[in-house]
Amino acid sequence: MEFLDVLPLMIMQWVRTQLDMIMPVWGAEAIVAVIKIILLLAVGIAPVIAFTWAERKTLARAQDRFGPNVAGPYGLVVAFADAIKILTKEDVTPAAADSIVFRLAPGLILVPALLVLAVVPFGRGMVAADLNVGILYAVAMGSVTVLGVLSASWSSRNKYSLVSAFRSLAQLVSYEVPMAFALLAVVLASGSLSTVRIVEAQVVPFAISMPLAALIYFLSSLAEANRSPFDMLESESEIVAGLNLEYSGMRFAMFYIAEYLHIFLVAALTTTLFLGGYKGPLLPGWVWFFGKSLLVVFVVLWIRTTWPRIRLDYLLDFAWKFLVPLGMANLVLVAIAYRLASNPYLAAGLSLVGNLVILLLAGGILVLVARRSQSRRLRAVVLGEA
Amino acid sequence: MEDSQTVAALQDEHIDTESISINFGPHHPSTHGVFRMVVRLDGETVVDVEPKIGYLHRGIEKLAEERTYLQIIPLVDRLDYVCPMTNEQAFCLAVEKLGAIEVPERAEYIRVIMAELTRIMSHVLAVGFLWNELGATFTPMIYAYRQREYLQDLFELASGARMFHNYMRPGGVVADLPDGWVARARKQLAEFERFLDQFETLMTENEIFLARTIDVGVLPPELAINCGISGPVLRATGVAYDLRRADPYSIYERFKFEIPTRSHGDTFDRYCQYFAEMRQSLSIIHQALNRLPVGPVFNEKAKRLRLPAGEAYGHIESPKGDLGFYIVSDGKPQPYRFHIRSTCLLNLTALRQMVIGQKLQDLVIIFGSLNVTMADIDR
């Protein structure tokens, strides 16, 4: 197992030694970097192909359907069929659209998502760039996506897309705040912004020591990735497809890829930050990493098949009036807990207890408020009164 | 001078925003066909709505004047294609009134069973589509659709068609129920009852659902009555008006059933109203199946159908509400004038008052909760 764990690293090492023998250091360095980039792209795109299938299959199963089952065994190559279909479509730029921005926008959405992959530790030592500001970098790249979404929806010169642009600004910017609070708690507890150090610092996964932060992060990143129940930007029952309404062909494919890449990033970052990343007994690290990620992906898809979409004003209320105060409370709590206790297990325990207390309090307040505003109606629901 | 203006503008705290108008439809995923609304939006808030209809106009009223009464039945099937059986029933009622045609006992029972099955089918679709418009990616809709397919199996067994049945005739129904139909219907209804319980447990108390439907799209009872709204949409406002009681037709006096009402008239109440009515319909069908008499299903005297000169209006409680057919005959095989009191058209009239001031997302679900079919509106 130890051997499997480091096998990818050993191969990389071997390639490097071979290269060093035949060329100067800078050449070898460059070639290794290129190999890493290609590997990263492969690791980034492969889940997209897998998730296309997984999403359809999960949705279909939840809905008592078979899902894709014609293209290949169990419909496994449906993603390729999709790709061929999309690539053969005409690439249309609407006459009234701002053509330069319109053409650039899909790239602006896809590229930052790919860039975040650089700081994701896929296994022990398997990270493309162990930045000491890794988390900050990931959040910053997430913010660039907002720009891409905005320019795509605004430049289309379609009114549905314009509504989507308003929504994107309100939603994506709002949800970065609670997300930052959740991330700060992680950074405080682990004492580092580097993703690798954060994974190493999790003697107890942060999802256990601070479930609140994990919850806030997961919900905010769902909103950031524009997933149900926060899929406001392309809510098909209201604004048809929102930001990607006017896109076709390869440009649409880039949105498509970016969407699935975002799911993967939500899963990968949640795994790294809260589920202990590649750590786990027996199996090689990278197996653990992908296993945990797949679990998170499943939860994302599960939510999608079962929940209705939330309304925009409730969405913003939820961020500012609920998640942000919770995030702040959690941050203070984590700061105190990890300062008081030097033993990581003790600190995790303290933090967990505090988290549960906050969750109970918040839940209590929420129930009280909900009761006050809806008591009449809720009673009617529960008792089945007219 | 300018300073004071700025100060005044600031004190006013009014930011001038530009509203945009969006062409909502005619091709839009949640307009139940080809409905077009010119929506004026201020941000996300709906300022004004101008409904535009007529994209599905087929001139059924005029077409009917060229056809014999039997040939009209397939036409009325295509009015509200979600509930064809009740369209046929209403039309046959009008013709039977004019021609004073007796309907055999067994045929009346079969008609009631079919009409109530249709009501269930229409309501379950309404609920399913409402969830779809709420953004629950197809799952509840497909659950609802599955039940609809089972009910359509029953229709298919009886009439030979899944959607446009062409089953009822002035003077009865075209064919008797096949062997084993009653047992199969019982089995299917038991299954449907389980489905209702399951669906309500899974969905109705969902927090997002409650937040999005309670107090959204409130329809006051006065407005509903003034607009001529009928059916579940009216009853959800608290008015217990149901033609099965108010103007009894067929054999509805013989069955025990309640007329459920709600009191607030919002989207949530309409949603619950559909469930309550489905349960009542189930009870009516069970009673009818238990008492189903034996005998002929068609009055042979009605075979050569020629109506005397005169006029008749027959209306029934269709799943959507008060559906009426007005027939003027001059003694020829074709009607001289044929008019449809379209339920959906009248139910749609209050849409503008209901959505102004609501959010864009609410507009979609309010429209969905009215449960209209464009084919019925445009005719």
Quick one: three-class SS letters along B66-124? CCCHHHHHHHHHCCCCCCHHHHHHHHHHHHHHHHCCCCCHHHHHHHHHHHHHHHHHHHH
Q: Do B204 and A240 touch (CB under 8 A)?
A: no
Q: Which residue shows structure tokens 């002035």?
A: B170
pLDDT at B118: 92
pLDDT at A315: 83
Q: What is the pLDDT of residues A199-246, one digit of tens each?
A: 888 877 888 788 888 888 988 888 888 777 787 777 777 777 777 888
Mutation for A interface: B145, B361, B366, most A CBs within 10 A: B361
Q: What is the pLDDT of residues A63-101, one digit of tens each?
A: 888 888 888 788 788 888 888 888 888 888 888 888 888
Residues of chain A found within 8 Å of residue B260, distances taken between Cβ atoms: 386
Cα distance between residue A350 and residue A347, in whole Å: 5
3-state helix, strand, coil in chain B (%, to 5): 50, 15, 35
pLDDT above 50: residue A384: no
Residue % of chain A over a pLDDT of 90 = 0
Of B205, B208, B362, the CB nearest to A381: B205
Cα distance between residue A11 and residue A8, in whole Å: 5
Q: Average pLDDT across each block of 10 residues of chain B; the chain has 379 residues. List them in order.
A: 55 69 80 83 84 86 88 88 89 88 89 91 90 83 88 89 87 87 90 89 80 84 89 89 86 87 86 90 90 86 81 89 89 87 88 86 87 85
Q: Do B204 and A231 touch (CB under 8 A)?
A: no
Q: What is the pLDDT of residues A9-45, one digit of tens each?
A: 778 778 878 887 888 878 888 888 888 888 888 877 7
Residue B370 near residue B351 (C-beta atoms within 8 A): yes
Dihedral pair phi/psi, residue B51, rounded to 5°: -75, 140
What separation in angstroms does the CA of B30 have from each of A168, A236, B77, B168, B363?
22, 8, 23, 32, 10
Cα distance between residue A161 and residue A154, in whole Å: 6
Of B43, B205, B362, the CB nearest to A166: B43
Chain A residues within 8 Å of chain B (Cβ atoms): 59, 62-65, 159-160, 162-163, 166-167, 228-229, 231, 235-240, 304-314, 374, 377-378, 381-382, 386
Residues of chain A found within 8 Å of residue B363, distances taken between Cβ atoms: 238
Q: How far is A240 from chain B (nearest CA, A)?
A: 7
pTM for this predicted structure: 0.82
Residue B325 near residue B91 (C-beta atoms within 8 A): yes
Do you know the residue count of chain A?
386
Q: Do A311 and B206 touch (CB under 8 A)?
A: no
Comparing C-alpha atoms, which of B201, B350, B369 is closest to residue B270? B369
Residues 346-375 of B with CB under 8 A from A: 359-364
Pairing of strands B310-318, B172-173: unpaired
pLDDT at A64: 82
Mutation for B interface: A237, A379, A383, most B CBs within 10 A: A237
Residue B254 near residue B288 (C-beta atoms within 8 A): no
Q: How far is A232 from chain B (nearest CA, A)?
A: 10
Residue in chain A lying closest to B209 (CA): A308
Q: Do A237 and B22 touch (CB under 8 A)?
A: no
Residue B312 near residue B95 (C-beta atoms within 8 A): yes
Q: What is the pLDDT of residues A317-369, one digit of tens each?
A: 888 888 888 888 888 888 887 777 777 777 777 778 878 888 888 777 777 76
Residue B244, H or E segment: helix B243-246
Cα distance between residue A63 and residue A65, in whole Å: 6
B146 contacts chain A (CB < 8 A): yes
DSSP readout, B24-81? E-SS-TTSSSS-EEEEEEETTEEEEEEEE--TT---HHHHHTTS-HHHHHHHHHTTST
Q: Do A386 and B43 touch (CB under 8 A)?
A: no
Give the type of residue at B233: V
Residue A149 near residue A233 (C-beta atoms within 8 A): yes
Residue B234 near residue B225 (C-beta atoms within 8 A): yes
Q: Do B44 and A166 touch (CB under 8 A)?
A: yes
B135 contacts chain A (CB < 8 A): yes
Tokens encoding B22 = 């969006």
Tokens encoding A36 = 């890493």
Q: How far is B167 from chain A (nearest CA, A)?
A: 31
Q: What is the pLDDT of residues B89-129, one digit of tens each?
A: 999 989 888 888 888 888 989 999 999 999 999 999 888 88
A47 alpha-carbon distance from chain centroid: 13
User: Where in chain B does DSSP place strands (E)?
Assistant: 20-24, 36-42, 45-52, 168-169, 172-173, 310-318, 321-329, 335-341
Q: Do B43 and A305 touch (CB under 8 A)?
A: no
Quick count: other Cβ atoms within 10 Å of Cβ A364?
A: 10
Comparing C-alpha atoms, which of B147, B141, B372 is closest to residue B281? B147
pLDDT at B13: 60
Q: Do A65 and B142 touch (CB under 8 A)?
A: yes
Q: Do A64 and B142 touch (CB under 8 A)?
A: yes
pLDDT above 60: residue A2: yes
**3-state DSSP assignment of residue A95:** coil
Q: What is the ipTM of this complex?
A: 0.76
**3-state DSSP assignment of residue B349:** coil
Overall average pLDDT of the A48-54 stretch? 82
The verdict on whether omega for the bond into residue A325 sits within 30 degrees of 0, i.e. cis, is no
Cα distance between residue A42 and residue A243, in whole Å: 27
